[in-house]
């Protein structure tokens, strides 16, 4: 009986190796020759550029990082442009995207990421995730976050909030990039 059991185990192991090998071959055969960052909406990201989540990217080239935003690895937030850049140590934008500003705005200047939360309820009562906080203005904490339901704040709201909203995809990119202590540069 033991010889028969080992024959069955050997046959099952050989069959499993064949199946895994076949699946690996299929995966390799269907993989593209070059990889580009994937976007949630199914389009390829172009040079780290993400704009209008869920819609076709109509901007042919990425928006350049503001010249007066310093040097080195940093998050750059343009108040007037309603845009964020994630800039690497070599001063290259690895990603840029639009945001919906909060009703409370930080002054232009340099800050650092002071705290982060995976998920909380925003001051507007909306469930948010990937919260990256960098300053406080008049007692209101200001930071980047993504609404779990994908909503953006009402621009006509009179409620004072510090949440700078981004898409969930952009929020995840911010979360991965802006660790505790990361420099945040706010420009006009």
Global pTM exceeds 0.85: no
Does 50 score more than 80 pLDDT?
A: no
Closest by Cα among 39, 42, 181, 30 to 116: 181
Q: Give the whole-number percent of the chain exceeding pLDDT 70.
A: 69
Pair 126, 151: CB distance under 8 Å = yes
Q: Strands 83-87, 74-78: parallel, antiparallel or unpaired by DSSP?
A: antiparallel
At the topology level of CATH, where does 67-187 sit?
L,D-transpeptidase catalytic domain-like (2.40.440)
Q: Which is higher by pLDDT, 157 or 127? A: 127
Pair 122, 128: CB distance under 8 Å = yes
pLDDT in tens, 82-95: 999 999 999 999 99
Q: Which is higher by pLDDT, 43 or 107? A: 107
Residue 92 token pair: 């290259």
Pair 130, 146: CB distance under 8 Å = yes
Q: Across 1-126, where does the E strand assignment appear?
A: 74-78, 83-87, 93-98, 109-112, 115-121
Residue 11: which pLDDT band, with cuts at 50, 70 and 90? low
Does 61 score more than 90 pLDDT?
A: no
Residue 57: which pLDDT band, with cuts at 50, 70 and 90? very low
Residue 44: which pLDDT band, with cuts at 50, 70 and 90? very low
Does 2 score more than 50 pLDDT?
A: yes
Residue range 155-164: average pLDDT? Answer: 83
Residue range 94-120: average pLDDT? Answer: 96
Give the pLDDT of residue 9: 61
Residue range 19-41: average pLDDT? Answer: 40
Q: Which is higher by pLDDT, 7 or 141? A: 141
Q: Strands 127-137, 140-147: parallel, antiparallel or unpaired by DSSP?
A: antiparallel
């Amino acid at each position: 009986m033991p010889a028969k059991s080992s024959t069955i185990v050997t046959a099952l192991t050989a069959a499993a190796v064949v199946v895994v090998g076949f699946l690996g071959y299929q995966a390799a055969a269907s993989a593209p020759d070059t990889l580009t960052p994937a976007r949630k909406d199914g389009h390829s990201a172009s040079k780290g550029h993400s704009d209008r989540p869920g819609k076709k990217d109509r901007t042919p080239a990425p928006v350049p990082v503001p010249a007066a935003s310093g040097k080195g690895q940093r998050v750059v937030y343009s108040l007037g442009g309603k845009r964020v850049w994630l800039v690497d140590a070599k001063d290259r934008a690895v990603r840029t995207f639009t945001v919906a500003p909060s009703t409370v705005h930080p002054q232009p200047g340099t800050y650092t990421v002071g705290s982060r939360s995976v998920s909380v309820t925003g001051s507007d009562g909306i469930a948010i995730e990937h919260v990256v906080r960098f300053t406080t203005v008049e007692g209101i904490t200001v930071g980047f976050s993504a609404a779990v339901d994908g909503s953006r704040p009402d621009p006509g709201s009179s409620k004072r909030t510090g949440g700078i909203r981004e898409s969930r995809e952009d929020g995840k990119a911010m979360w991965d990039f802006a660790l505790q202590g990361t420099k945040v540069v706010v420009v006009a």
